[in-house]
Amino acid sequence: MTALLIAKVSLLFAAALAVSMLATRAAAATRHTILTGAQLAALALPFLATVVPPLAVIESPRAIVKAAAPAPVIETADTVTTAPPPRRARNPLPLIWLAGCALVAVRKLTSYVRAMRIVRRADAMFTSDVDQPSTFGRWILLPAAAKTWTPERLRIVLLHEQAHVARHDTLLALLGDVACAVYWFHPLTWLVARRARLERERACDDHVLAAGVGATEYATTMLDVARGIARHHAAAMPMAEHSQMEQRIRAILDPATRRRSTHGLMAIAVIVVAAPLLAALNGVVPRPHAIEPDLLGDAVASPYSERIDPPAPRLAVEARGPDAALVALLNEVASRPPRGSIDFVPERARWALTQVRDGKLVEPMIDALADSDWRIRAYAAWTLGHSGDRRATSPLTMLLDDSIWRVRAMAAHALANLGDPAAERAMTRHLDDAAWQVRTEVVRYLKATGGHETEVAAMRNDRHLAVRAAAEAE
């Protein structure tokens, strides 16, 4: 049960409750339709979310940082170790949710089983197991004392119970019980169910009054029935619950109350449209005003665009020669699985290993910085950033003027790793680079080399949150 799903259910139930409480001029049947539809939509949301295409939305700054950032931003120092991540503690919430579902389901199921037993023991429609008129499915149950009722009282009672049968209220009540079992932890679930029970009974009251029964006569009959209530009878729907009596009597005696539902189909249509729309709203977070304008037109460019195709094969290269330490590091990194969908570190390491020549890798990588394919240039810059060899400083500073921001960012990342003071001039020139990814790495370089407190302090006011965070980090 995700937080996003709970938020959607909260919105759905809150809206249904608000509409049902504000729609005082609508018929009770219409309000009951809205509440029951909300319960059905809440049950359907987890399934709809898997089949309805997500709605295209503007992502939050954090999501943009993750999607738009080149590999330097997402990998940091992960390449120096292959230790497995710590094992997460088992989340107890799913088990708690399942236990709650089981507890509510058993309680509800028990009441339905009891109701079925009462129906089977009933003599025609009369039974001593109930003390007031009740309905379960298509069966109407009357207390044994009803045999002595006047024909008029019996007619009024049967009109009410027949309305339950015609409306399929037992099935709709079952739907509400399932919703309560699934969302047992949500207080709005129980409020919706309670309100739906009230509107269900009021809808049947309206049916009786629409049949020509006088309001005073019907109210008197219902009060007489309520006096005989001694206990609650399973899942069968009693005619007169004490908790609802005042509201129902007021509505029965109010001549301005609308009795016929004229907007039921409209309510159903709204719910049918709203449920898939709500299911499609995934990760909708408005973009704050403080985010950097998309100066390059590619702020949300897919990070997959930088992958070299086809990917390099996985192979182990003997660590020997002048660049043995770098080769050994790449062998280690290439052997681990990716730690996320956009973790290209192992893939880059495997590619770099294919470029080893007689134990040499730094020189082939420096040559690759001039390759016509920008992806090759980016991969080579990344590799040199882990070489510790300052021969790469000069060609990497030239790469800072590349037209592709991902290449510039990778070069800046490599220079920040090398920490060579010789790159200071070139790096400070890019404090106002159009790409925030580059500016972030420049800040990291200035902090690593020291003596640039003024420049770093100025970057705390940068227009992009990632750059500000890098400048403020200890």
**pLDDT tens figures, 61-102:** 444 444 444 443 334 334 333 344 445 456 687 888 889 999
Binned at pLDDT 50, 70 and 90, residue 320 comes out as: confident
Distances (CA, A) of 7 to 3, 13, 236, 455: 6, 10, 33, 43
Domains of the chain: 3-78+95-115+152-280 (no CATH), 303-472 (1.25.10.10)
What H or E segment, with its residue span, contains residue 134? Answer: strand 134-136
Tokens found for residue 363:
């020189």
- pLDDT for the residue numbered 267: 58
Please count the helices (runs of H) and the strands (runs of E) in the chain. Answer: 21, 4
Sign of CA dihedral 459, 460, 466, 469: positive
- CB proximity list for 130: less than 8 A, separation 6 or greater: 118, 141, 142, 143, 233, 236, 238
> What pairs with residue 430 in β-bridges?
none
- pLDDT for the residue numbered 61: 42
Considering the entire predicted model, what is its pTM?
0.54
Least confident of 40-49, 230-239, 402-411: 230-239
Cα separation, 250 vs 260, whole angstroms:
17
Instruction: Give the residue from 341, 329, 415, 401 showing the smallest Cα distance to 370.
Output: 401
Tokens found for residue 364:
């082939």
> What pairs with residue 135 in β-bridges?
140, 237
For 239-252, what is the mean pLDDT?
81
Whether 364 contacts 400, CB under 8 Å = no
Give the model confidence (pLDDT) of 97-152 as tens digits: 889 999 999 998 998 888 888 888 877 688 888 888 889 889 998 988 888 889 99
Least confident of 203-212, 241-250, 293-302: 293-302
